[in-house]
Amino acid sequence: MGTCRLPALIAVTIAVALAGCGGDNDPAGEPPTTAPPETVETKPQSPEAKQFPADFTKKVDPICVKAQKEVDKVAGTRARSRAAVQKLSAIYGGAAKELAALKPPEQNASAYQEFTGAFRDAEDLFTRLDEEVGRGDSSAYQRVPSTLDQVNTDIKDQATQYGFNGCSSD
């Protein structure tokens, strides 16, 4: 090897070695965190906001029961068709509209809006899945069961918190 090639070989070796070094933003160089993630407070701040009157819960529960029966019927088909995904979106959207049509007591208004929002969010999730299927992404069907689990858990958690027994039963 000639003396002219030796400096070039050394320069290339150094460049390759430096390229393998991590930068300051390399997460592998960071110590692991042991602190738990911060929790987001979703519960109402006042006890009054949690306490829905019994006559109001009697109006809410049948809507939830009806929606859950319809969802169970569609989910039993394993939702492997675009029509099934659209039906799930329509069920949650219809329940959200029915629930929103009820006038909650003033002290419960923000909590109730959050509760009905869970149904609107479910409608949105299934609408987006439908759009993916419409674009030819049949893998979206694989996310239907986990999306149903997520949605039903969210609704059930809020229903339990607010005393809507028909919405929180299995």
pLDDT in tens, 37-72: 444 445 444 555 567 888 999 999 999 999 999 999
Determine contact, residues 21/67, Cβ cutoff 8 Å: no
Q: In this structure, is residue 1 part of a structural domain?
A: no
Parent domain of 84: 48-168
Q: In this structure, is residue 71 part of a structural domain?
A: yes
Confidence (pLDDT) at 119? 95
Count: domains in the chain: 1
Q: In this structure, is residue 11 part of a structural domain?
A: no
How high is the mean pLDDT of the chain? 78
Is residue 63 helix, strand or coil?
Answer: helix
Confidence (pLDDT) at 27? 45
Confidence (pLDDT) at 3? 53
Q: In this structure, is residue 12 part of a structural domain?
A: no
Q: In this structure, is residue 53 part of a structural domain?
A: yes
Q: What share of the chain is helix, strand, coil (3-state, %, to 5)?
A: 70, 0, 30
* Confidence grade of residue 12 (pLDDT, cut at 50, 70, 90): very low
The phi and psi torsions of 48 (rounded to 5 degrees) equal -65, -35
What CA–CA distances, in Å, run from 138 to 122, 131, 142, 160, 164? Answer: 20, 11, 8, 35, 36
Q: In this structure, is residue 128 part of a structural domain?
A: yes
Distance of CA 144 to the CA centre of its chain: 12
pLDDT by residue (tens digit) across 96-124?
999 999 999 999 999 999 999 999 999 99
pTM, two decimals, is 0.69
Residues 67 and 169: their CA atoms lie apart, in Å, by 12
Distance of CA 102 to the CA centre of its chain: 25
